[in-house]
Amino acid sequence: MGFVEEQGSLHCEDCYEKYFAPICGKCDKRVKGDCLNAVGKQFHPECFCCAYCGKVFGSGAFYLEDGLPYCETDWNDLFTTKCVGCGFPIEAGDRWVEALNNNYHSQCFKCSKCHKNLEGQSFFAKGGKPFCKAHAQRGF
């Protein structure tokens, strides 16, 4: 039987696992082998996974939301504001327009007919889509 040194004392593996091994932040069982430290807790490597899809992070990146870890795909799908024009997230520092109960990157807010950029311009709406003045006057 092997031993483990903990706090300057030697302990058999059984006693270490019973009294000193960290408790997994997800399953609440003792971590006997490899231990992953993240978000101020210890985990079995297979227990540290996306709170939505269950994908194991390993040493990969993760995003925190309300104290829970998410993979990039799920974090983007669940927590970012998407541009209606291109479908990509509107990120911090991006210029954006809120119009017609939707959000657009500034470069994506265009006339639905001629694709002229409408940021800062007068526009008209029909069917929830923006149109420039010229196409609004022509009956869209």
Each residue's pLDDT expressed in tens, for the chain with a length of 140 residues: 676 777 777 878 778 788 888 999 999 999 988 899 998 999 999 999 999 999 999 878 999 999 999 999 999 889 999 999 999 989 888 999 999 999 999 999 999 999 999 999 889 998 889 999 888 877 65
pLDDT recorded at residue 97: 94
The neighbour count for residue 122, using CB atoms within 10 Å, is 8
Parse the chain into domains and list their residue ranges. Answer: 1-34, 96-137
Q: What is the DSSP string of 61-105?
A: --EEETTEEE-HHHHHHHHSPBPTTT--B--TT--EEEETTEEEE
Q: What is the pTM of this model?
A: 0.62
Both tokens of 132, joined, read: 């420039």
pLDDT recorded at residue 3: 66
Query: What homologous superfamily is domain 96-137 in, according to CATH?
Result: Cysteine Rich Protein (2.10.110.10)
